[in-house]
Amino acid sequence: MDQWFRLKERGTSLPTEVLAGVTTFLTMVYIVIVNPGILSSAGMDFHGVFVATVLASIAGTLIMGLAANYPIVVAPGMGLNAYFAFSVVGGSGISWQTALGAVFVAGILFVALSLTSFRYMLLDAIPASLKHAITAGIGLFITFIGLQNAKIVVDSPSTLLTLGSLTEPMTLLTIIGLVVTLILMSYRVKGYLFLGMLVTAVLAWFMGLLVLPEQVVALPTGLAATAFQMDLTGVFANGLYAVIFTFLLITLFDTTGTMLGVAEQAGLLKDGKFPRSRGALMADAIGTTTGALLGTSPTSAYIESSAGVAVGGRTGLTAVTVSLLLGLTLFFSPVIAVLASIPAITAPSLIIVGFLMISVVQKMEWTDFEVAIPAFLIIVLMPLTYSISTGIGVGFIAYPVLKAVRGKWRDVHPIFYLFAVLFFIQLAFFSH
């Protein structure tokens, strides 16, 4: 085992790696509850998405651990699942089968990019502030969804949106659950999102809002309802090129940024470079492709991996431990289904993850007019148009236009002009 994972070389041990795996698992296991809950709102079978979520996470994480030897977890990304359910399926009227087809195409492109150096050119073409704006915009978007699910924010005929009734039992429970989770977060309790869900579930039971399942353990079922159901023909018939690009772009730079951050925290960078980056990116690419085949939204490297690194995780054995623990969750689908069915249990996680994502605005260059305005448009238009790709598209069109009118067109990477043209065609002539 030491020869495979190089435990001694990285200054770690088997008990430390297992502890790191357990810690990371507790911080990210909320996704097996939240992801099926979000995607089932798009008409997908809850149990099928649950099994697909776990299996796609295991596939990507095992490759990350065994092939790349990094303590990084891969699972369906927050934000992309909301984009899949509420923008692509709900907003555009596309079937979830067609949306899965778009995820699969993006996954195949990601595999191809992982094998070439073109991925670096793609990442370098996008200014850092625009990357941060995309992350922040997605954060606002999923926070908005969390507030809507909990009915803290509701529709209004006069103002479009307004504050809901805070005395409604489910809304009140959401607020209590949010406060509890924030308290756990403020004290830096490991797994605060998951623990917050459990505390809220207990309160929901006392309030009569939660009915305990008849059984706690059961064999995993439902995968047949989502596996191999993707519609590739519909992807091209509906011109979902911007959707594919959005899935690919966000997954690529989100994964790259997360992996670099976790690797730096673990002291695994060499001369500022990321060794075995091809294998690490391939893990996420295969996770995304596998997820599309089985029935879930794109995967991404999880920043929650840093929790395991903080307690000493330094090798892929941490990731392997997480994979084994994820496998055990497959047999608790009755409990997972009950937890996901209560908006008050899942909404606080959406709100808090949104907060964590929007915090990157402090890294943006707000004094650079040509970048700040497109970044601003990306951030505000994602939640206001209920579409991640629309926000990205408008920002990516505005950036080269502003640079050009200011006489700085040479400062824009040539490939960015291609991005702008493709997004303009998508927004002007195709459904979005």
Structure token pair of residue 407: 């006489």
pLDDT for res 231: 96
pLDDT for res 2: 67
Q: What is the largest CA-CA distance in the chain?
A: 68
Cα 56 from chain centre: 13
Do you know the residue count of the chain? Answer: 432
For the chain, which residues score pLDDT lower than 70? 2, 123, 271-273, 430-432
| Torsion 431-52-195-263 (CA) sign | negative
Q: Are strands 299-301 and 74-76 parallel, antiparallel or unpaired?
A: antiparallel
Strands (DSSP E) along 71-186, which ranges?
74-76, 153-156, 160-163
* Residues 233-278 pLDDT 10s: 999 999 888 899 889 988 887 888 788 778 888 888 776 667 777 8
Number of domains in the chain: 1
In the chain, DSSP finds a helix count (H) and a strand count (E) of 20, 4
pLDDT for res 226: 97
| Torsion 366-370-373-375 (CA) sign | negative
The answer to whether residue 4 sits within a structural domain is no
The answer to whether residue 140 sits within a structural domain is yes
Q: What one-letter code names the amino acid at 323?
A: S
Q: 111, 356 in Cβ contact below 8 A?
A: no
Instruction: Pick the closest to residue 190 from 360, 16, 20 (CA basis).
Output: 20
The answer to whether residue 69 sits within a structural domain is yes
* Residues 3-54 pLDDT 10s: 778 888 888 999 999 999 999 998 899 999 999 999 999 999 999 999 999 9
The answer to whether residue 393 sits within a structural domain is no
Domain that holds residue 213: 13-360
The answer to whether residue 158 sits within a structural domain is yes
The answer to whether residue 375 sits within a structural domain is no
Structure token pair of residue 33: 């509850």
| Torsion 368-370-374-377 (CA) sign | positive
Q: What is the CA radius of gyration of the chain?
A: 21
Structure token pair of residue 337: 């289904």
pLDDT for res 431: 52
The answer to whether residue 159 sits within a structural domain is yes
The answer to whether residue 148 sits within a structural domain is yes
| N-term to C-term CA, the chain | 50
Residue 217 half-sphere exposure toward CB, CA atoms < 13 A: 1
pTM, 2 dp = 0.86
pLDDT for res 432: 46
Instruction: Pick the closest to residue 35 from 249, 300, 254 (CA basis).
Output: 300
pLDDT for res 22: 93
